[in-house]
Chain A
Amino acid sequence: MLLGLWLWAAEARADAAYLAELLDRADAAGLSARRQWRTLLHYRSVGNAEGVISDADDPHFFLDPTGKTDPRAELAATLRAFFKSDRVGADPQPAQCAFMARYQWLKGELGFDGRRLQPQNCERFQHWLRELNAESATLVFASAYLNNPASLFGHTLLRLDRRGQTEQTRLLAYAINYAADDSNSNALRYAVDGISGRFEGQFEIQPYYKLVRTYSDLESRDLWEYRLHLSQPQFRRLIEHVWELRGVRFDYYFFRENCAWQLLTLLEVTDPNLRLSDKFILWTLPADTIRHLIRQPDWVEEVIARPARGTTINRRYEALTARERRLARRLRNDPTIATQAEFVRLARERQALLLELALSERRYSQAGALKEGYEAPPDGTAHRLLIARNHLRAVAAPVPIEPYASRPELGHASRRAGIRFGQREGVRFIELNARASYHDLLEPEAGYTPDAQIEILGIAVRRYEDRDQLTLNHLTLLDITSLPPINTLTPRPAWRIHVGWEPYPSRDCFDCAAFNISGGLGVAGQTRWPWRTVWFAVPGLELHYSSKSTDAYRAGFGFLGGALLEPTARWKVLAKAAWLNHPFNEGGAVLQTSLEQNLVLDRNLSLRINWRYQEGIHECEIGLQAYF
């Protein structure tokens, strides 16, 4: 027993000596200040150049009580923990296993002597690695989903591609999805909780097929897959870091520390020279992160589209003749159509196409119910259609399926600033304007959801030649307009919502702006001759408030109608008329009309020419706007 005690004491002395040596060498090499250590611990600079804080908000992620703000203390505690077999971390296990990426990096930097610091057997990590069976990574962008406020700007996730995977089997890959848990919030607190970081975010690992089902099948969002070019050591570090992030809690902030931001910080561990997250200071939009990532040299190998179910349905429908469309609509609810002479006369591949289209459409119409539950409800009609399709031994006629939402990096940047010159009732003005994000109807659709507008925090101030002061022309807090052209197969309404101050000139108040909340629900349709034009009619409710008006507020209903013309890919024209009736308080009707044009000069530069009329006041302007 004495011998045992003596051996234990000798071993402890040896460990202490080696630990002291490693600590000295780590200090001498300045490892705790290295970029790699900072990225592994998710440190970012605060205040002065010396101060840092980790984005991780889970004490299990740190081995020193001051680890969140002290990289040096955390590194020392980490080295100390590597000599022990105590279970630590969010998924308790010995430190060498719990913090695999840190262990491997420090081992590489300090050249651990395996006899003096025994490597632990991390069987669970090895099993996890075997099950993932991953060899490369793909960043996936899910396009905007206008029916859910939380998905207006898209979403990004990281897929870990398996060895031997093909496009036909990529569903089986696992994906890393950073998501917040809002289950403890409610409708009233939702915005405040999201802004103040009260949601808890975590990296989740899920099969890709689950995410495809949610985003592509149920929400009908086109996906773009960016296969990343990572060396094997880089990919290995990424995987090891994902392992140590499991179960670690981060405070989730809507604006900046959201899914797109967290994926950037995750990717930064692969290369100490990579500075992705630094660019995003106030807010992080998924599409902006894709644009930023694609600019990194040699980072993206290839880009693959994964059209949504709704896209596939619409593209196939567009490829049908008028007679086939009629048949498809009837077939959807009546499988006996497949036995009628008119149908049977079609070529077999056209019959197959119509049957598949009818089936897809039936499933698409059940998406709402499927989101709530797990399995699809029984559908006898769909079953009969399937049997008809099964008996038809032919491949459906091929139809190219181009996603509606094009690649985000092909579009203009989302921030905008501009200058305009014009006159209102003969009084000349100069206007400076800026918009925080994102896209309006007149801007080219490349990279954005077609026929949709989302504008956030836009401001314009003017200086009229006959006044000494700047005047607020508009301050948009939020403006969303969605004008999906209706088709009989997948009808969706047009809608709009606006919150902010907008111009409200009159004979009494030449440069007035009024606070406006308005919204409406209507319909849009499209024609293609002589060029694509989206026609829309959106009735709705209006509330105006202005302290300069005779009465402070006007409330009533309105009707917005117009046309969005696209003569060329670079030139769009928006003609609209709004009729507003204010039976409450200040009575009377108001007519607003406008004709606006946008001419693209370059991807991030365009020319805007506008004319407007309201309550006898005419205005015209011309200006340039740049995107950055």
Chain B
Amino acid sequence: MKRLLNVALIATLGLVGGACTVVSDPSSGASGTTSGSDKTTFMNRREQITEFAKLNLESLRSDMAVGQGEHLSSLAVLLEIDPNRQPAFFMLARDKFTVLFPSDRTTAPEMLAALKGEMQADPRFSQRLTLN
């Protein structure tokens, strides 16, 4: 019985103790910075765009279908789209949704490549394109 009590106590303390998150998320750590030992170098802008699109692809799908949302707004900032032109960018994403996401298997790099094509074809965005 004493042993049983000990096991219960340890289990309890284990549960009690986690006063905040213990992270073992495999995708954490190397995201804000480039992976490896150098922890000061952030990813370059292009890598940041790809990383953001990969991790938030489902949210971007929803935002682009509607032409609004915080993930779409954030992508616009990463793409360095002038705030005055962001409403037009949102409409472009909505109007070209089926081009950007032709199927449920469309990946983030494929969507970004399609977006680049659409923006290049649009004189409002072709001047300065971070996706280059």
The residues of A with any CB-CB pair to B shorter than 8 Å are 91, 124-125, 127-128, 131, 142, 148-156, 166-172, 174, 177-183, 190-192, 194-195, 199, 204-207, 209-210, 213-214, 217, 246-247, 252, 254-255, 258-260, 283-286, 352, 356, 359-360, 363, 374-376, 378-380, 382-383, 386-387, 389-390, 395-396, 456-457, 477-478, 480, 499, 515, 517, 545, 552-553
Known: A167-B70, A171-B56, A247-B39. 4 other contacts (CB 8 A): A191-B13, A192-B10, A209-B52, A478-B16
Q: Give A213's nearest chain B residue, CB to CB.
A: B55
Interface residues of B in 19-78 (CB under 8 A from A): 19-25, 27-29, 31-33, 38-42, 51-52, 54-59, 61-62, 65-66, 68, 70-71, 73-74, 77-78
| Nearest 8 A/B pairs, CB to CB | A191-B14, A254-B17, A150-B18, A259-B20, A179-B23, A383-B104, A168-B73, A390-B65
Q: Is B84 an interface residue (CB 8 A)?
A: no
Across the interface, do A389 and B65 meet the contact criterion of CB distance under 8 Å? Answer: yes
Q: Is B129 an interface residue (CB 8 A)?
A: no
Determine the chain A residues whose CB is within 8 A of the CB of B94 once the complex forms.
Answer: 390
Across the interface, do A477 and B8 meet the contact criterion of CB distance under 8 Å? Answer: yes
In the bound complex, what is the Cα–Cα distance between A191 and B32 (angstroms)? 30
Interface centre among A252, A382, A383 (most CB of B within 10 A): A383
Q: Give A381's nearest chain B residue, CB to CB.
A: B104
B8 CB to closest chain A CB (Å) equals 5
Across the interface, do A206 and B12 meet the contact criterion of CB distance under 8 Å? Answer: no
Interface centre among B10, B15, B77 (most CB of A within 10 A): B15
- Do A499 and B18 form a contact, CB below 8 Å, given A179-B28, A379-B104, A383-B104? no
Q: Give B48's nearest chain A residue, CB to CB.
A: A207
Across the interface, do A172 and B27 meet the contact criterion of CB distance under 8 Å? Answer: no
Across the interface, do A214 and B29 meet the contact criterion of CB distance under 8 Å? Answer: no
Q: Is B132 an interface residue (CB 8 A)?
A: no
Chain B contact-residue range equals: 35 or more
A591 CB to closest chain B CB (Å) equals 25
Q: Is B103 an interface residue (CB 8 A)?
A: yes
Interface centre among B14, B28, B56 (most CB of A within 10 A): B14
Q: Give A247's nearest chain B residue, CB to CB.
A: B39
- The 22 listed contacts between A and B (C-beta, < 8 Å) are A125-B40, A148-B18, A150-B22, A152-B18, A156-B20, A168-B73, A179-B23, A190-B14, A191-B17, A199-B22, A209-B52, A209-B71, A210-B27, A255-B17, A363-B58, A378-B103, A386-B61, A390-B97, A477-B16, A478-B16, A515-B5, A545-B4
- Do A209 and B74 form a contact, CB below 8 Å, given A91-B40, A259-B21, A515-B5? yes
In the bound complex, what is the Cα–Cα distance between A521 and B8 (angstroms)? 19
Q: Give A283's nearest chain B residue, CB to CB.
A: B19
- Do A387 and B98 form a contact, CB below 8 Å, given A168-B70, A172-B77, A376-B58? yes
Determine the chain B residues whose CB is within 8 A of the CB of A356 once the complex forms.
Answer: 62, 66
Determine the chain B residues whose CB is within 8 A of the CB of A382 once the complex forms.
Answer: 104
Determine the chain B residues whose CB is within 8 A of the CB of A194 once the complex forms.
Answer: 14, 17-18, 22
In the bound complex, what is the Cα–Cα distance between A31 and B5 (angstroms)? 51
Determine the chain A residues whose CB is within 8 A of the CB of B101 once the complex forms.
Answer: 383, 386
Across the interface, do B39 and A195 meet the contact criterion of CB distance under 8 Å? Answer: no
Picked from A206, A499, A545, the residue with its CB within 8 Å of the CB of B31 is: A206
Interface centre among A183, A283, A375 (most CB of B within 10 A): A375
- Do A260 and B19 form a contact, CB below 8 Å, given A191-B14, A210-B28, A515-B5? yes
Q: Give B72's nearest chain A residue, CB to CB.
A: A168
